[in-house]
């Protein structure tokens, strides 16, 4: 389900918690979706009952990745993520980090890929303050949107 309003997401999470469901959150750009993303999302879902995916807006990706990104516009990225069976909710965000969403919904588990550590994750402090868990999972070797884009631009 696509959720564009943070207050609606907050209310949905409150209802889910009434049913003792464990909330998992992850986030990313998900620019050119590939096997690594799908496996990552499937692994993230295993940490709980409901997987919420925060997706960077086009403007926030430009701030993070540069003016040539994203390749795929937000609306298309949201639709593709929403079609993945392990994903329950998708919510876009404008900021460079999902700290505002995390502060609002306080997921039980926050999942990030192995290119992060708890120490260099900007949202770690807020998650640990409210008692949430952080899980770092391995990336799938050989799959990286940045590398795919680089190969395309080189004409490989």
**In-domain check, residue 54:** no
**In-domain check, residue 125:** yes
**In-domain check, residue 83:** yes
What is the domain count for the chain? 1
**In-domain check, residue 100:** no
**In-domain check, residue 53:** no
**In-domain check, residue 6:** no
Domain residue limits at 128:
23-44+59-91+110-154
Which CATH number characterizes residue 80's domain?
3.40.50.620
- Report the pLDDT averaged over residues 144-155: 76
**In-domain check, residue 78:** yes
Task: Tell how far CA 112 is from the center of its chain.
Answer: 8
DSSP-assigned letter for residue 2? B
Measured CA distances, 110 to 6, 50, 63, 114, 153 (Å) = 17, 12, 23, 13, 33
Predicted confidence (pLDDT) per residue in 73-119, tens digit: 999 999 999 999 999 999 999 999 999 999 999 999 999 998 899 99
Tell me the pTM: 0.92
**In-domain check, residue 101:** no
Predicted confidence (pLDDT) per residue in 48-61, tens digit: 999 999 999 999 99
- Report the pLDDT averaged over residues 59-64: 94
């Amino acid at each position: 389900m696509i959720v564009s309003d943070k207050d609606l997401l907050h209310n949905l999470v409150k209802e889910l918690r009434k049913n003792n469901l464990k909330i998992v959150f992850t986030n990313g750009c998900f620019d050119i979706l590939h096997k690594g993303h799908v496996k990552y999302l499937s692994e993230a879902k295993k940490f709980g009952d409901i997987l919420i995916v925060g997706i960077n807006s086009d403007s926030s990706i430009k701030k993070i990745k540069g003016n040539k990104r994203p390749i795929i516009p937000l609306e298309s990225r949201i639709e593709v993520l929403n079609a993945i069976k392990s994903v329950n909710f998708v919510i876009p965000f404008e900021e460079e980090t999902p700290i505002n969403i995390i502060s609002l919904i306080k997921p039980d588990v926050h999942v990030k890929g192995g290119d992060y550590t708890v120490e260099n994750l900007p949202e770690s402090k807020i998650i640990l303050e409210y008692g949430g868990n952080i899980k770092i999972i391995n990336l799938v070797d050989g799959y990286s949107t940045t590398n795919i884009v680089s190969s395309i631009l080189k004409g490989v």
